[in-house]
Amino acid sequence: MVQAAVFGFGTVGSGVVEILDKNAGQVARRVPGGLNVKYILDIREFPDSPYGEKVVHDIDQILNDPEIKVVCETMGGKEPAYTFTKKALEKGISVCTSNKELVEYKGAELLGIAREHNCSYLFEAAVGGGIPLIMPMLNCLEQEKITSITGILNGTTNYILTRMEQENAEFGDVLRQAQELGYAERNPQADVEAHDTGRKIAILASLLTGKSVRFDDLHVEGITKITPLDLAVAGQHGFRVKLLCVCKDMGDGQAVYAAPHLVGSDSPLYAVNDVFNAVLFHGNMVDDLMLYGRGAGKLPTGSAVVADMVTAAVHAGENVPIRWSGEVEKPAPFEECVNEFYLRVDKADADRIKSALADGICEDWTSDAAGEDAVFVTGAMTEGEFAAKTAGEPLKQVIRIYRK
């Protein structure tokens, strides 16, 4: 039997404890004798929980117990999660986490500490919640040249966009509904401004390059300006609006960014609705490969953490290697990315803006659904070219169009 501890008995941490209990038989198939949660570290007491007697408040009680081989860090945030993780790894205790903020911030350093101390730092649940995608990417796709990764990796925004489209509802109204249902945080900024999805693509881009792609270096746009009118016009042409995070090979580097996109019905990403997440890899040999599932939630996310805990327990006393150095890798300049654009402008401004874009105009989508506005889509051009041609123009809406 391998002894474990849980740091943070919240949504995911309590899911981890429940899964290790309910699926003890499955776990024991790989970890002889099973994985036992000996301690739960939290600030609060949990007198009504069947696991309440395992709760402790002093991390040293856990770190000084030589039996503990694996910890799950599900406290979230940078501190004290960073300090606690570092201390555990320095003791040779493997740490498995769903904490994407910490993984993006200190992933390379914590992996290095794990390597030095013959233990592991694993974070499958930090990207895509319950979807196994990091280990498949690192193991099963290692031989591939991955030319693009495109993800819908934030369930809250995908839920909001789906409801806005289906109910012809405004962003603010759907956000409030989502908060009432517990799908959105009371402070929704990290989700709706695309910081969460940006952090996730920064992690995937770091794993792809083996270097540190920093969230702070990415171009990130959220969904707060998307309107039901845009969703209706897009719908008439066979598109949905999705918040995509993108990492694509530009030949001499990776373009890495997150922004709303129009996704056509010919893409498998079109059918990813509500709180579901998906990531679409394109490899030069395997072609398209999409992984789909629940990107959040107590049990799906807990399941991914438990998978890592099992791996860490099987490899207790050794390091499960993950290639990610501290050397900073700057993404390719955003201005050089080539995209097509959906544009909505006041009808009075349309001719002038169209002539500024000259032969870049592809199709006119103006219809009754657009009301007083003119809508058109451009052909492919670089972000820099688009910005220069539309500089100073009163654009009411700009959404990129996703093309494979």
CA–CA dist 178, 157 (Å, integer):
10
248: annotated active-site residue: no
* Min CB(104)–ligand NAP separation in Å: 11
- Those residues whose C-beta lies under 8 Å from the C-beta of residue 292, and which sit 6 or more positions away, are 131, 268, 272, 276, 277, 278
Residue 398 tokens, joined: 């700009």
Q: Contact between 12 and ligand NAP (CB under 6 A)?
A: yes
Among 74, 150, 209, 390, which residue sits at the site for ligand NAP (rule: CB under 6 A)? 74
Residue 218: phi and psi, rounded to 5, are -95, 150
Q: Other C-beta atoms within 10 Å of 114: how many?
A: 27
Select 126 or 229, whichever has its Cβ closest to ligand NAP.
126
Q: Is the dihedral of CA 103, 256, 191, 269 positive or negative?
A: negative
* Min CB(160)–ligand NAP separation in Å: 16
238 dihedral zone (left: phi>0; alpha: psi -120 to 50; beta): left
Residue 391, CB-side half-sphere exposure with 13 Å CA sphere: 6
Q: Which of 200, 225, 330, 354 is catalytic?
A: 200
Select 27 or 296, whichever has its Cβ closest to ligand NAP.
296
Q: Which of residues 321-380 bind ligand NAP (CB under 6 A)?
A: none
Select 153 or 205, whichever has its Cβ closest to ligand NAP.
153
* Min CB(73)–ligand NAP separation in Å: 8
Among 92, 132, 264, 297, which residue sits at the site for ligand NAP (rule: CB under 6 A)? 297
Q: Contact between 52 and ligand NAP (CB under 6 A)?
A: no
Torsion of CA 158, 163, 166, 170, to 10 degrees: -110
* Min CB(43)–ligand NAP separation in Å: 4
CA–CA dist 309, 328 (Å, integer):
29
- Those residues whose C-beta lies under 8 Å from the C-beta of residue 61, and which sit 6 or more positions away, are 39
Among 3, 10, 232, 237, which residue sits at the site for ligand NAP (rule: CB under 6 A)? 10
Among 4, 6, 9, 390, which residue sits at the site for ligand NAP (rule: CB under 6 A)? 9
User: Quick check: 389 and 357 in contact, CB under 8 A?
Assistant: yes
Q: In this chain, which residue has its C-beta nearest to ligand NAP?
A: 10
Q: Contact between 80 and ligand NAP (CB under 6 A)?
A: yes
* Min CB(125)–ligand NAP separation in Å: 6
Taking CB under 6 A as the binding criterion, the range among 92-100, 253-261, 318-326, 378-386 that sits at the site for ligand NAP is 92-100
Strands (E), 210-272: 219-220, 239-249, 254-264
- CA geometry: angle at 238 spanning 235 and 240, to 5°? 55
Among 27, 75, 110, 343, which residue sits at the site for ligand NAP (rule: CB under 6 A)? 75
Q: Contact between 98 and ligand NAP (CB under 6 A)?
A: yes
Taking CB under 6 A as the binding criterion, the range among 4-12, 17-25, 172-180, 331-339 that sits at the site for ligand NAP is 4-12
Q: Contact between 132 and ligand NAP (CB under 6 A)?
A: no
What letter would DSSP give residue 222?
A: -
User: Quick check: 153 and 200 in contact, CB under 8 A?
Assistant: yes
- Those residues whose C-beta lies under 8 Å from the C-beta of residue 219, and which sit 6 or more positions away, are 257, 258, 259, 334
Q: Give the chain's end-to-end CA distance (angstroms, integer).
A: 48
Q: Contact between 41 and ligand NAP (CB under 6 A)?
A: yes
Residue 227, CB-side half-sphere exposure with 13 Å CA sphere: 12
Q: Contact between 188 and ligand NAP (CB under 6 A)?
A: no
* Min CB(325)–ligand NAP separation in Å: 23
Taking CB under 6 A as the binding criterion, the range among 95-103, 167-175, 226-234, 330-338 that sits at the site for ligand NAP is 95-103
User: Quick check: 390 and 138 in contact, CB under 8 A?
Assistant: no
Taking CB under 6 A as the binding criterion, the range among 37-45, 133-141, 161-169, 246-254 that sits at the site for ligand NAP is 37-45
Among 4, 39, 42, 281, which residue sits at the site for ligand NAP (rule: CB under 6 A)? 42
Q: Contact between 156 and ligand NAP (CB under 6 A)?
A: no
* Min CB(59)–ligand NAP separation in Å: 8
Please identify every residue annotated as catalytic: 200
The binding site for ligand NAP (CB under 6 A) comprises: 8-13, 41-44, 74-76, 80, 98-101, 125, 129, 296-297, 301
